[in-house]
Structure 1
């Protein structure tokens, strides 16, 4: 019993010692950060952010890609809790080629000050996704129909353009109805009949109907082809010169 008690006390002492070491390490780390220079602070934050493997933007003439880069950058910064005062500095580290040349021109302009993330978003989108293009994308969404696209292709286009006309998609029901509007017969007829209110359910039914329709067409083609071949063989056998 005494041995067990001694062993228990020894374990407690080890645990307390580890806790003391951890506390000391944290306090030392906090003191180091308190005394670090601004340059070292920025380098530390950049190093931590680099671990998220951000993508590079080179200024390609693709407004969708530009906006996606900006969105991903903001999401990563939010997740990493990057301070507001260094967000622009960190983001511009991932500009290359024409994009970096554009940024250098901004920095050299004494009449333009970009210090906050909001200011950077505005000037970046003005350059790579101006309001005229955004309006065009919104109209493209308004007029979007499935046409000859597959359901998968239609869904991808629908979700790509949807953010440019968010005023039309107030909730999931509105999203489902707009998706339905672009479908063609007979897919539309089958989906509308069920009066589904969830976007995910409308998509799933559209997939099912498309697969069923494609199978029906394929079966008909196979049947017609087989019937034609049989008729050809019959005519060949029946013909006696």
Structure 2
């Protein structure tokens, strides 16, 4: 790729030196494209690698204004090995001058319809199950692009995400009726943490309650204080038969007899 870019830059510089200033702007743009360090594509058999490369190119094109032809030219500069050979053979058959047309033939080569349908099926049946919310959300985002017809509106996207969540998390979120995808994802993170925290505290709480109950059962009950009165009305006077020293009605002291 570097040799191809160098040759292209040299050709541009020659045109500028020969009095063709219209090339000057394109030379600046190609240098800016290089500075953004685009991903090299060698023709991976993994369709997700091909799709990731396309996303990287489109990210650069958002930051660097390009014409349709420049998008194709700059993107194919990153091709090496099998991808470069495929592109040269393609150019012999037809001239590709728009990004939309390029994507059509690129995906036909590196992301055929059968694989696309498989990814769409995975999205349709996607459930959180043993995954964390983070892992589930990552898969949801990854496969959603292959089945956009399933989530034609933002509201449908929110409900689809909720439907695949763990039952305990889903029940908590459905009550809230959150309107946006971001709010639902954030709340799912929080709910997951709360559930994990409550589960981790249960054993310690049981142990703490067990110790507290044991301490209570080991403490002897307090002795009862007899506050009954005698028939004479003097407080503290009791029947001698119960073993309590009575209060003398004459001197006011407690003694027998």
- Return the TM-score normalized by structure 1: 0.70
Check 1:194–1:41 CA distance in 2 against 1; reply closer, same or farther (3 A cut). Answer: closer
Q: Map 1:157-176 to 2 at 5 A.
A: 157-176=139-158
Check 1:39–1:103 CA distance in 2 against 1; reply closer, same or farther (3 A cut). Answer: farther
Residues of 2 paired with 1:62 and 1:112: CA distance? 26
Rg larger in structure = 2
Partner of 2:66: 82
Superimposed CA distance per residue, residues 114-133 of structure 1 (whole angstroms, 9 cap, x where no aligned partner)? 23322211111111111211
What SS does the aligned partner of 1:164 have?
Answer: coil
Check 1:205–1:140 CA distance in 2 against 1; reply closer, same or farther (3 A cut). Answer: same
Partner of 1:153: 135
Residues of 1 paired with 2:44 and 2:135: CA distance? 24
Partner of 1:7: none
Aligned: 1:92 with 2:56: no
Q: Map 1:1-241 to 2 at 5 A.
A: 35-36=19-20, 43-107=27-91, 110-222=92-204
Residues of 2 paired with 1:79 and 1:118: CA distance? 18
Whether contact under 8 Å (2:169, 2:192) holds in the other structure is: yes
Structure 2 alignment gaps of length 5 or more: 1-15, 211-257
Q: How many residues of Structure 1 are paired with residues of Structure 2 in the alignment?
A: 196
Superimposed CA distance per residue, residues 188-231 of structure 1 (whole angstroms, 9 cap, x where no aligned partner)? 11111222222122212211221111112222345678999xxx
For the aligned residues, what is the CA RMSD? Answer: 2.9
Cα displacement (A) at 1:45: 3.5
- Which structure has greater helix proportion? 1
Cα displacement (A) at 1:42: 5.3
What SS does the aligned partner of 2:173 have?
Answer: helix
Cα displacement (A) at 1:37: 7.2
Residues of 1 paired with 2:18 and 2:51: CA distance? 36
Tell which has more relative contact order, 1 or 2 (C-alpha 8 A, sep 6+). 1
Residues of 2 paired with 1:176 and 1:125: CA distance? 28
Structure 1 alignment gaps of length 5 or more: 1-31, 229-241
Superimposed CA distance per residue, residues 71-113 of structure 1 (whole angstroms, 9 cap, x where no aligned partner)? 3213423432222233322211101222222223323xx4333
Whether contact under 8 Å (2:162, 2:170) holds in the other structure is: yes
Cα displacement (A) at 1:161: 0.9
